[in-house]
Amino acid sequence: MTAGAWWASRVGWLVCLMSCAGNRLVTVPSGPQPSKAQPVRVDFPPPPAKIEEIPISRRSANGCVWRDGFWDWTGRRWEWQAGRAVLPPPHCHFAEAKLEWTTDSLSFYRPAWYPDAADAPAPSSLNIAKACQEIACIPPAASASTDAP
**Predicted local distance difference test score (pLDDT) of residue 39:** 93
pLDDT tens readout for residues 36-74: 899 999 999 999 999 998 876 655 667 888 999 999 999
Instruction: Please check whether residue 58 is in contact with residue 85, taking contact to mean a CB–CB distance below 8 angstroms.
Output: no
| Nearest CA-CA partner of 35 in 87, 88, 100, 91 | 100
pLDDT tens readout for residues 85-127: 899 999 999 999 999 998 899 999 999 999 987 655 544 435 5
**Is 126 exposed, middle or buried, given 0-12, 13-18 or 19+ CB atoms closer than 10 A?**
exposed
Average pLDDT over residues 15-35: 68
Q: Are strands 78-81 and 84-87 parallel, antiparallel or unpaired?
A: unpaired
145 phi, psi to nearest 5 deg: -95, 130
**Predicted local distance difference test score (pLDDT) of residue 60:** 60
| Nearest CA-CA partner of 109 in 52, 35, 51 | 35
